[in-house]
Structure 1
Amino acid sequence: MTRSTVFAPFDIVEGDRKRGIVLVADHARRDLPEEYGSLGLPAAELDRHIAYDIGVETVTRELAAALDVPAVIANFSRLLIDPNRGEDDPTLIRQLYDGTVVPGNYPMAPQERERRLDGFYRPYQDAVGAMIASVAHASGKAPFIFSVHSFTPVMQGFIRPWHVGILWDLDDRVARPLIDMLAQDKNLVVGDNEPYDGALRGDTMFKHAIVNGFAHALIEIRQDLISDRKGALAWAQRLAPIVDAIDRRPDMHQVKMFGSRTGPL
Structure 2
Amino acid sequence: MTCPPDAPAFAAEGEARPARWLVTCDHATNRVPPWVNGGDLGIAAADMARHIAYDVGALGLARALAARLDAPAVWADFSRLVIDPNRGEDDPTLLMRLYDGTVIPANRNADAAERERRLERLHRPYHRALARLAAAHPARAICAIHSFTPQLRGRPPRPWAVGILYSHRDERLGPAMVAACRAQGWVTGDNQPYNGHLDGDSIDRHALAQGRPNVLIEVRNDLIADQGGQQAWADRLAPVLEGVLAGSGL
Instruction: Name the TM tier (shorter chain).
Output: over 0.9
Equivalent residue letter for 2:175: R
Which residue number in structure 2 is paired with residue 87 of structure 1? 89
The equivalent residue for 1:246 is 244
2:63 aligned partner: 61
Cα drift, residue 205 of structure 1: 0.3
State which of 197, 200, 205 in structure 2 corresponds to 1:199.
197
The superposition leaves residues 150-196 of structure 1 with CA deviations (integer Å, 9 ceiling, x where unpaired) of 0001013221111110111121222122111110133x210000000
Tell me, yes or no, if structure 1 residue 176 matches structure 2 residue 175. Answer: yes
Q: Please tell me whether the aligned partners of residues 148 and 220 of structure 1 are also in contact (alpha carbons under 8 angstroms).
A: yes
Residue identity (%): 45
What secondary structure is seen at the aligned counterpart in 1 of 2:48?
A: helix
Structure 1 position 131, deviation (Å)? 0.5
Matching residue of 2:159: 161
- Amino acid across the alignment from 1:150: S
Q: Which amino acid aligns with 1:18?
A: P
Q: Secondary structure at the match of 1:40?
A: coil
1:24 lines up with 2:21 in the alignment: no
Alignment CA distance shift 1:176-1:47 (3 Å): same
SS state at 1:169 partner: coil
Aligned positions of 1:1-265 closer than 5 A = 1=1, 3-36=3-36, 37-136=39-138, 142-158=139-155, 159-170=157-168, 171-186=170-185, 188-249=186-247, 251-252=249-250
Is the 1:166–1:193 contact (alpha carbons within 8 Å) kept by the matching residues of 2? yes
Q: Deviations over 1:63-119 (max 9, x none)?
A: 111111001110000000000011111110001000100010011111000000000
**Alignment-mate amino acid for residue 231 of structure 1:** G
Change (3 A) 1:2 1:65: farther
Which piece of structure 1 moves more, 29-38 or 221-230? 29-38
The 2-side partners of 1:247 and 1:167 are apart by 15
Stretches of structure 1 that go unaligned for 5 or more consecutive residues are 137-141, 253-265
Report the number of matched residues. 246
Normalising by the residue count of structure 2, what TM-score does the alignment of the two structures yield? 0.94
Structure 1 segments (4+ residues) deviating >6 Å: none
Q: Secondary structure at the match of 1:134?
A: coil
Larger mean Cα displacement after TM superposition, 15-24 or 226-235: 15-24
Secondary structure of the residue that 2:247 maps to in structure 1? coil
Q: Please say if residues 168 and 193 of structure 1, whose CA atoms lie closer than 8 Å, have aligned partners that are also in contact.
A: yes
Aligned-pair Cα RMSD in Å: 1.3
* Counterpart secondary structure, 1:161: coil
Alpha-carbon contact 1:151-1:223 (below 8 Å) kept = yes
Provide the C-alpha distance between the structure 2 equivalents of 1:203 and 1:120, rounded to a whole number of angstroms: 15
Task: Write the distance in 2 (CA, Å) between the matches of 1:250 and 1:52.
Answer: 32
Unaligned runs of 5+ in 2: none
- Inter-CA distance 133–17: structure 2 relative to 1 (3 Å threshold): farther
Q: 1:15 to 1:245 in 2, by over 3 A?
A: farther
What amino acid does structure 2 have at the position aligned with 1:190?
T
Q: In the aligned structure 1, how far is the partner of 2:43 from the partner of 2:215?
A: 33
Question: d(CA) in 1 for partners of 2:218 and 2:69?
Answer: 19
TM-score (norm 1): 0.89
Letter of the structure 2 residue corresponding to residue 99 of structure 1: G
